Amino acid sequence: MPELDGFEATAMIRDPASRVKNQSVPIIAMTANAMHEDRGKCLAAGMSDYLSKPVDRGKLAQMLGKWLSCEAEEEPSNPECEEEQAAEVPLFFQAGLLARLDNDQDFLKMILDMSLKDLPDKLEKLREQCMGDDEKELTLTAHTMSGVAANISAAALHKISQELEAAIKEGGAESAGKMLPEVERILLLTIEEIEKVCKR
């Protein structure tokens, strides 16, 4: 702005090859567009959350509080966060996602429908890349999957995607191939869980 828009800037920040120190830094979209499709694009692009203009001070404060809390920290530094991390990781936390979407059921359905179409494609891409030698593209796919999972409150998939990304950086496609069965298992279970919600 004027050289980059928010989507391009987000893509650069989330890029595993980026020189940004924290590629998982929360990114909040602030835009005059309030249509469901625009909000969906923001989340699908890797942004963490969304605020429409004109920005309400109270909502902005709540947003900052949420993303600066221990829930948003990449490496928890207090016992309360460590306790949460040690607890069983849920496949899909519908209440958390719905709260982030201002309890908008229609928008929730749209986001979940998009995810049900996108996640199988991501898995197929991952399978293909595990058989190749392009570690950069493989890392990007794992990183993107991690971002998508975080955006839809699919904690288990988010966790395994992060582990997969770390494994690729350490051991390349061979390490990814060893993790692939577990990634597939969690991703398919996540899809099943989301489909249950969509049928209600």
pLDDT of residue 38: 67
For residue 54, is the peptide bond before it cis, meaning its omega torsion is within 30 degrees of 0? yes
pLDDT of residue 22: 79
pLDDT in tens, 158-200: 889 989 988 988 888 888 889 999 999 999 999 999 988 777 6
Rounded to two decimals, what is the model's pTM?
A: 0.59
List of E strands, 47-186: 49-52
Contact 27, 7 (CB under 8 A): no
> Exposed e or buried b for every residue in 51-70, given b needs 16+ CB within 10 A?
bbeeeeeeeeeebeebbeee
List of E strands, the chain: 28-31, 49-52
To 5 degrees, how large is the angle CA 47–CA 48–CA 53? 80
Q: Is 88 helix (H, G, I), strand (E, B) or coil?
A: coil
* Torsion of Cα atoms, 106 then 189 then 116 then 142, to 10°: 120
| Residue 3 in this model has a pLDDT that exceeds 80 | no
The average pLDDT across 3-28 equals 81
Angstrom distance (rounded) from CA 66 to CA 87: 20
> Which of the four pLDDT bands, split at 50, 70 and 90, describes residue 88?
low
Q: Which domains does the chain show, CATH number per domain?
A: 1-73 (3.40.50.2300), 87-200 (1.20.120.160)
Angstrom distance (rounded) from CA 131 to CA 112: 29
| Residue 151 in this model has a pLDDT that exceeds 50 | yes
pLDDT of residue 78: 46
| Residue 105 in this model has a pLDDT that exceeds 90 | no
pLDDT in tens, 60-86: 888 888 877 644 444 444 444 444 444
| Residue 115 in this model has a pLDDT that exceeds 60 | yes
> Which residues, in sequence order, are bridge partners of residue 51?
30
Q: Lowest-confidence range among 2-16, 62-76, 77-91, 115-129?
A: 77-91
pLDDT in tens, 19-62: 787 777 888 887 765 555 667 778 777 888 888 766 677 788 88
